[in-house]
Amino acid sequence: MENNFSLLIERAAYDEFIGLWGQGNFKHQRLGQAFYNHFRLHKLNDQDSLRKLYEADGERALGLILHLFHFH
């Protein structure tokens, strides 16, 4: 997947999401799906670049998150 855009997420918001994920707050969702839903990524125009993230789980999802997003 080619990264043609740069998305920014606050590091604190990402850390909060990871904490919620670790507590099991996203039952019945893949990691990528939970991330996509939590950050309401459906509002972004470039859905093609996010489709693989939504479908991914585990290490694959974490890799895609780190590839697509920059944290500040």
* Integer CA distances (angstroms), 10 to 2, 7, 28, 31, 39, in order: 22, 10, 26, 18, 11
pTM: 0.89
pLDDT tens string 53-71: 999 999 999 999 999 999 9
Q: Are 17 and 39 in contact (CB under 8 A)?
A: yes
CA–CA separation, 21 vs 50, rounded Å?
Answer: 19
pLDDT tens string 6-55: 789 999 999 999 999 999 999 999 999 999 999 999 999 889 879 999 99
